[in-house]
Structure 1
Amino acid sequence: MSIRVNNLILNINEDMSELKSKAARKLGINVDDIEKFSILRKSIDARRKNNIKFNCSVEVSCQEEEKLVLRTGNRDVKLEKRIEDTIVPGNKKMSSRPIIVGMGPAGMFAGLFLAEEGYRPIVVERGEKIEDRTKTVNKFWTTGELNLESNVQFGEGGAGTFSDGKLTTRIKDRRCDFILDAFSRYGAPNEILYDGKPHIGTDNLKLVVKNIRNRILELGGEILFNSRLEDLVIEDKKLKEIIVNGARMHCENLILAIGHSSRDTYEMLFKKGVHMEPKAFAIGVRVEHLQHMIDVNQYGKFAGNPKLGPADYRLTYKSRNGRGIYSFCMCPGGEVVAAASERGELVTNGMSYYKRNLENANSAVVVTVGEDDFEGNSPLKGMEFQRYYEKLAYKLGGGNYAAPVQLIRDFLKERVSTGLGSVKPTYRPGYEFRDLRLCLPAEVVSGLQEGFVHFERKIKGYAKGEGVITGIETRTSAPVRIIRSSDLESISVSGMYPCGEGAGYAGGIISAAADGIKTAEGIIRKYSPL
């Protein structure tokens, strides 16, 4: 048991060390009466740019906590009772070790959780381990030479490894604390445990991924890199074996933690009769501005203050025809990266390092699309929709994965840009000035044009300044959902557990990891440890 104290305010010139005395004053006790103290949350309040503050919550342990909370009568002071959620293993014996396909957040945390509970999982990952994958990706960005099995989408750590490493989520799940604690234990900065918008950057994320891999191995798990799931052997709707790189593996329990770009796997599952449905997602462009411009708009005279760091933003708008237009995966002080996973198709993503100290800010700005926008009756029609526009973008960029770019103001005036201002595109391996309307659906073009005009009202210079757009962004989420039952098994194949972002049940690192853990818990409740 402990006490949570909310709404402790620090002005920008106050130090974090003053939180303890502020908590004591709110509780009506002496600082020395506090036996244990920790920061639970710290967020920036920039609603008044001339008076930016930090809003904090802390956890306090002291004597007679219940009486103290009653005496204060302050709604910012609450008694926190810890509820231990113990997972009781089942009694059924496994005929083989559980297998996990995919070493992204869902598969990685499912593997870690199973390993810590004594289940010695086998993880099958089509891409390379992170050290080799980083070299392969850098080669692609430099030369345009794409490795179809190991790239920004495939490999240890998943697609999020080459991103900003955002650990924010909207889900309310007890597993989130376990995930953040694990990130901290395995190499992430401790501030992620309380920061209102935690991120660890692609550089720290690579270290965390490597350390979690080593922990799984230490606990008796096994990880097979450069190993692609090619087929399922199903008898009477029950999974019997999987085929990996041409070899059969007996499999009683399969956690299917594929990423949202595993298109060949979706196609294989569809052929095997696995029930899935098309799912809405969003497509659009990557937007770049000078980070300083975003800082000034968000923080005013405090722009550049080291306590605030580079500013981010979140923008939303509903178009006249009802489509959602919004910023997505905003990367302060970062770069736009090539993220293709198939030949002749162009995809962008955003990435930042922990310090977020590069010149440009970037964000996806996307428009929602759904079943009515996709042609055909196949559950894979959303995937084919993505492919169609990625191929257009590749051709528009001139080939070899060069990207089409355009100033936002020229996009609004429907003309090709002829030069750049202060914002230089960061995309590699290269770019060409093109009209991005030629690689986007008409509904998305009109939605972006409406959205940019609206966003200019929120951030001065967003659309009328020298901002640049790079095309295109299509992998915002999975284009399908693999349908599962209440016990998390596929409704088509007993023993197969689709989970995470690729299965259509998550949207980001934390929610995918939580879904992976939830799936692992389902297996633990059925089976005894090996």
Structure 2
Amino acid sequence: MIRITELRLPVNHAPEELEAAILKRLSISSKDLVEFSVFKRSHDARKNSALSFIYTIDLSIKDEDKVLKKWGHDPHVRPSPDTSYHYVAKAPPELKKRPVVIGFGPCGIFAALILAQMGFKPIVLERGKQVRERTQDTWGLWRKKILNPESNVQFGEGGAGTFSDGKLYSQIKDPKFYGRKVIEEFIKAGAPEEIAYVAKPHIGTFRLVGMVEKIRQEIIDLGGEIRFQQKVTSFDIQDGQLRGLYLESGEVLEADHVVLALGHSARDTFKALHQAGVYIEPKPFSVGFRIEHPQSLIDKARLGPHAGNPLIGAADYKLVHHAKNGRAVYSFCMCPGGTVVAATSEENRVVTNGMSQYSRNERNANAGIVVNVDPSDYGGSAANPLAGIDFQRALESKAFELGGKNYEAPGQLVGDFIAGRPSNEFGRVIPSYKPGVHLTDLAEALPSFAIEAMREALPAFEKQIKGFSMPDAVLTGVETRTSSPIRITRGTNYQSLNVKGLYPAGEGAGYAGGILSAGVDGIKVAEALALDILK
């Protein structure tokens, strides 16, 4: 196979023009082309008046060696790399103890799936409910202001990623193409095939629900076991070796190899790990608000005359500003054509997040506008590694109070926020957050350094996206769970630094950020665990 990169065509090109461009690029005739496929398609929005698709193409042709020799000087014509997944192990006929996976979000799903495909028949412990029951409980908060602390946006089958944009792109280094394995499994489970080649693939919540169920069934068909509403409350660790797990039900489960695939909100489990002596350290994260604009404004600013083109879809953005006080302010988890959602997992607290469906056709665009914090801001240390949780909780409790103590979120118009005055009524942008938004003064919702940095950043972002600081854009608070406030540190063998057999993984352990990177980390940890069993 040969790979061509940087093959450019106008956005509105006809399908047959792609093959013609390939033939022209290699100076071959159609009879020499056996087949081709699109490995990647992106678009360059920097000059939106001349928007074009940029293709990476894998193709098979007659006499490949001759063509590669002819174009050997061209860095954009090379042999295609092997992107297929290769299993590193096969389970022995008799397993003394089955591996256990705690958590069934993206990381836990792929750790369990890979272990099952290698024959290790994992046991999965998920504190929440199956995804469809969990969806009903989540709607209970959004529609009726009733929170189920064990079944919500954070806890349950599919993890927090189920109620998100379903983004499947990441900036992680992936030389072994584990991300390709994640994408291929999602396609097999029902995701649209385009996620294999578009530059910023996404799925959306509704599609994710069915896909998660299909992957769960494959794990079961391969001998795995999924136990829902099974919360781990403590850990049996003897002489630095994990020996078992204590469950809330009273059961004690013997286990020598455990994947710890917690989400970033498993605060009670973090505490249990700390009490058991597992090494944990505090880490930086970010806090801020959700911002909403008309999606049409973002489309026009980013795509110009191509706004509304169905081949491109709703426009997104990525922004960063380095404020004078030393803080970085940046956009986080941008959701085109989406909604702001209630994402708390604890009573009497308010947390926001963003979500989009596959169509991305809601009226508003939203994104987190967040400011970095580090352990020195919240008193985190080796002696107090969980201090970031207390910091998050204080902000979430304050947001609950500012919102009216009924799970409505506090909000403010961007113009009023920059000017330092409370908001009294909405303008052109109607917030999408349910149960509702209570207008107030958000200056009380975050530390002063964050408010100062954000007031500086919003007008600065206007220089990149015209209309970004429009006076009646809406800010909704608070966004506190951008990433885990801790890292459950592991060594090069993927095991805890001081507990053999414990494999911290994914977002909760501080090793991923998003669906794709969490799935990739789950694969890596599953491989390490399998190889350790076979020693």
> Same fold, TM exceeding 0.5?
yes
The structural deviation recorded for 1:528 is: 4.5
Partner of 2:159: 158
Partner of 1:193: 196
Are 2:314 and 2:337, in contact at CA under 8 Å, matched by a contact in 1? Answer: yes
Deviates more, 1:60-69 or 1:137-146: 60-69
How many percent identity over aligned positions?
44
Instruction: Quickly say closer, same or farther: Cα 1:359–1:76, change in 2 above 3 A.
Output: same
- SS state at 1:295 partner: helix
Please, what TM-score do these two structures have when normalized by structure 2?
Answer: 0.96
Partner of 2:229: 226
Separation (CA, whole Å) in 2 of partners of 1:16 and 1:270: 57
- SS state at 1:458 partner: coil
Separation (CA, whole Å) in 2 of partners of 1:382 and 1:242: 26
Alignment of 1:350 onto 2:349: no
- SS state at 2:371 partner: strand
Q: Which amino acid aligns with 1:287?
A: I
Structure 2 gap segments, 5+ residues each: none
Cα shift readout 1:36-74 (whole Å, capped 9, x = no counterpart) = 210011111122122111111110011221220121343
Q: Which amino acid aligns with 1:330?
A: M
Alignment of 1:483 onto 2:489: yes
Q: 1:379 aligns with which of 361, 364, 385?
A: 385
The structural deviation recorded for 1:172 is: 2.1
Partner of 1:400: 406
Are 1:423 and 1:468, in contact at CA under 8 Å, matched by a contact in 2? Answer: yes
Q: Which aligned pairs between 1:36-435 and structure 2 lie closer than 5 A?
A: 36-72=35-71, 73-82=73-82, 85-89=86-90, 94-173=95-174, 174-244=177-247, 245-375=249-379, 377=381, 378-435=384-441
Are 1:89 and 1:527, in contact at CA under 8 Å, matched by a contact in 2? Answer: no
Partner of 2:32: 33
Partner of 1:527: 533
- SS state at 2:48 partner: coil
Deviates more, 1:101-110 or 1:28-37: 28-37
The structural deviation recorded for 1:249 is: 0.7
Separation (CA, whole Å) in 1 of partners of 2:87 and 2:262: 28
Q: Which amino acid aligns with 1:35?
A: V
Deviates more, 1:298-307 or 1:356-365: 298-307
Separation (CA, whole Å) in 2 of partners of 1:86 and 1:265: 31
Separation (CA, whole Å) in 2 of partners of 1:456 and 1:215: 48
Are 2:244 and 2:255, in contact at CA under 8 Å, matched by a contact in 1? Answer: yes
Are 1:92 and 1:526, in contact at CA under 8 Å, matched by a contact in 2? Answer: no
Cα shift readout 1:206-231 (whole Å, capped 9, x = no counterpart) = 12111101110111110001111111
Are 1:93 and 1:528, in contact at CA under 8 Å, matched by a contact in 2? Answer: no
Q: 2:446 aligns with which of 431, 440, 449?
A: 440
Q: Which amino acid aligns with 2:353?
A: N
- SS state at 1:510 partner: helix
The structural deviation recorded for 1:453 is: 1.4
The structural deviation recorded for 1:94 is: 4.1
Instruction: Quickly say closer, same or farther: Cα 1:83–1:334, change in 2 above 3 A.
Output: closer
Instruction: Quickly say closer, same or farther: Cα 1:435–1:238, change in 2 above 3 A.
Output: same
Are 1:93 and 1:527, in contact at CA under 8 Å, matched by a contact in 2? Answer: no
Q: 2:476 aligns with which of 465, 470, 474?
A: 470
Separation (CA, whole Å) in 1 of partners of 2:268 and 2:418: 37
Instruction: Quickly say closer, same or farther: Cα 1:239–1:460, change in 2 above 3 A.
Output: same
Cα RMSD after superposing both structures: 1.5
Q: Which amino acid aligns with 1:388?
A: A
- SS state at 1:124 partner: strand
Cα shift readout 1:131-150 (whole Å, capped 9, x = no counterpart) = 10111101110111111111
Separation (CA, whole Å) in 1 of partners of 2:283 and 2:505: 15
Are 2:380 and 2:388, in contact at CA under 8 Å, matched by a contact in 1? Answer: no
Partner of 1:9: 8
Cα shift readout 1:411-463 (whole Å, capped 9, x = no counterpart) = 00011111111110000111211111111011110111111011011111111
Are 2:325 and 2:449, in contact at CA under 8 Å, matched by a contact in 1? Answer: no
Are 1:397 and 1:431, in contact at CA under 8 Å, matched by a contact in 2? Answer: yes
Separation (CA, whole Å) in 2 of partners of 1:309 and 1:198: 11
Are 1:91 and 1:527, in contact at CA under 8 Å, matched by a contact in 2? Answer: no
- SS state at 1:50 partner: helix
Runs of 4+ with deviation above 6 angstroms: 90-93
Separation (CA, whole Å) in 2 of partners of 1:61 and 1:220: 38
The structural deviation recorded for 1:35 is: 1.3
Partner of 1:493: 499
Separation (CA, whole Å) in 2 of partners of 1:469 and 1:33: 57
Number of aligned residue pairs: 528
The structural deviation recorded for 1:273 is: 0.8
The structural deviation recorded for 1:28 is: 1.1
Structure 1 gap segments, 5+ residues each: none
Q: Which amino acid aligns with 1:412?
A: I
Are 1:350 and 1:363, in contact at CA under 8 Å, matched by a contact in 2? Answer: yes
Separation (CA, whole Å) in 2 of partners of 1:31 and 1:116: 40
Separation (CA, whole Å) in 2 of partners of 1:409 and 1:349: 22
Separation (CA, whole Å) in 2 of partners of 1:46 and 1:79: 29
